[in-house]
Amino acid sequence: MFNYKKSRKVLVLTAAVSLLCSQSVFAETLELDLDDAVQRALTTNPAIKIAVSEKKGSRAELNAARAGRGISIDAEHRSGRGGYADPQWNTATRSYSKNLGNSHSNSITASIPIYTGGQLSGTIDQAKANYKSYALGETKAYIEMKKTATDGYFSLLQAGNMENLYQDSVNQLEEHLKNVQAQYDVGVVAKVDVLRSEVSLANAQQQLIQATNNYDVAEASLNKIIGTSLDTTLKLKDSLQYTPYE
């Protein structure tokens, strides 16, 4: 007998598994260096777009304020329909009639401000100050975004190094535990030595989990900064290496 509810559960489970598999298969992998990260951040981050838009708006306000100093030209057109003053006697209808006509007029007026009591110059000065402020804001936004992208890039590098470090530590402690266990089996070391090795391995595994979480957070943070999907796998071309200084 066909079980509808059971079949529906199977279909839902299958769809969920397919979705997870598709996400893992189509997850994007992006290779980039520091310059790539900075350029992507400057191109896609909303903070930069807002700063650029505010500067353009203040520039338009300054141009409008300056335009108030020039000649202003107004054009006007008028049309009307009216009758003549003297009515005419119509002998056929034995009544007075009034002739109607159309009238049109055009006018162009040019004006220029001569004296505004300092209001016009004050408006222009205020618009200049606003424009300079937003221009500096745009520059500041670019500088801050470069720093943010650089910090995010090196934070991911550092997180990757820490993850590798704790992974090496776990690998070494696993091998050490095997050796201690083998020595205990033949009676060379005491049980406490095995327990001590197990505790050290457990601590290292916990640190590795924390390091992996820190790496995932740093990767998602850099993805957000450069405007890519948060689940994008980033492959950094640079590496942090120790160079002895003589």
pLDDT digits (tens, 9 = 90+) for 198-226: 999 999 999 999 999 999 999 999 999 99
pLDDT > 80? residue 7: no
Which fold does the domain 27-68+117-236 belong to in CATH? Answer: Outer membrane efflux proteins (OEP) (1.20.1600)
Residue 102's beta-bridge partner residues?
Answer: 81
Read off the pTM. 0.62
pLDDT > 70? residue 44: yes
pLDDT at 123: 75
Boundaries of every domain in the chain: 27-68+117-236
Which residues fall within 8 angstroms of residue 226, CB to CB, at 6 or more apart? 32, 37, 40, 41, 44, 45, 149, 152
Average pLDDT, the chain: 79
The residue-averaged pLDDT of 35-58 equals 87
> For residue 188, which phi and psi values (nearest 5 degrees)?
-85, -40
Band of pLDDT at residue 241, cut at 50, 70 and 90? confident
Band of pLDDT at residue 73, cut at 50, 70 and 90? low
The residue-averaged pLDDT of 218-235 equals 93
pLDDT > 80? residue 80: no
121 or 9, greater pLDDT: 121
pLDDT > 80? residue 112: no
